[in-house]
Amino acid sequence: MSDSGNQSCLMGAEDTVSFLVCVFHTWEDWAGLGQLEDYLSVLEYLLWVFTPLAVVFILPFLIVILLYLSILFLHVYKRKNQLREAYCNNLWDGARKTLATLWDGHGAIWHGYEIHGMEKIPDKGPALIVYYHGAIPIDYYYFLANVIIQKGRPCHSVADHFLFKVPGFKLLLEVFSVIHGPQEECVRALRSGHLLGISPGGVREALFSDETYPLLWGKRKGFAQVAIDSQVPVIPMFTQNLREGFRSLGTLRFFRWLYERFRLPIAPVYGGFPVKFRTFLGDPIPYDPNVNAAELAEKVQQAVQSLIDQHQQIPGNILRALLERFHTKHKDH
């Protein structure tokens, strides 16, 4: 209705009802509701056309998820006898083996996870495992799962203080023997005959390392002093394509400044790509009473760097790491 039509309508209204109807039509024209109805009609038509197409693509995706859940269940079921025995012996042993089986299944399905050199982890007795820290250390979770399953023993771990402040994590950390890292507590765990895993780079390496895989250990040598005080061997560890699975935006200046200023590890992490993961365990570095902490730290860093140089193409490439899922035989680089 035009403006002149609206004015004549208002002036010619003979009663209240006619006047209100006329006001409504005037407001409808002013607000463009007539056009809105056209837009809604078009939107309804598009939904009618594309909904069947969306369903066609979503349903197969849901079936794939169901298949993966079925495979995950089978990974758990094939170890039902071990799980039953674990639950009979100790409640938390059963819980650990159940979660280890789930994580092992996830690693096998999503990353085709492999471990090379598992025989270097002792069946009994202590050892210090020193590893490169990814943006998310999911490879270390897979490693812990395999130690529990294959060696029948847990591996204690050292984690950053902030992890103990995350709501709901307390029980998980207790059950899997995670400590926040005082040297005395680490020595106590090793002298008690346990395995202990530690990443000298820690959160800094997780946030600020990149696809070129630099080791950001600085001058840290506390882990080496722990090994000397405990008189245990050190086993270096590195996982191929770890930075292609998950990457961090910590290399951006803002997040670097935020961490250095406030110690807030909040750099965004992206990824979750199903790239090939292979964990390599180097030769154990035996205890030597003639080597001090600084020398041992340097030796361990060189051992981890050697694993990176031998098994990781630099810089890492996500597409290449994805294609490696199709290769069953490992080739050293």
To the query of whether residue 327 is one of the catalytic residues in this protein, the response is no
Which one is catalytic: 75, 106, 116, 133?
133
CA atoms within 13 A on the CB side of 184: 0
- For residues 198 and 129, the answer to whether their CB atoms sit within 8 Å is yes
Catalytic residues: 133
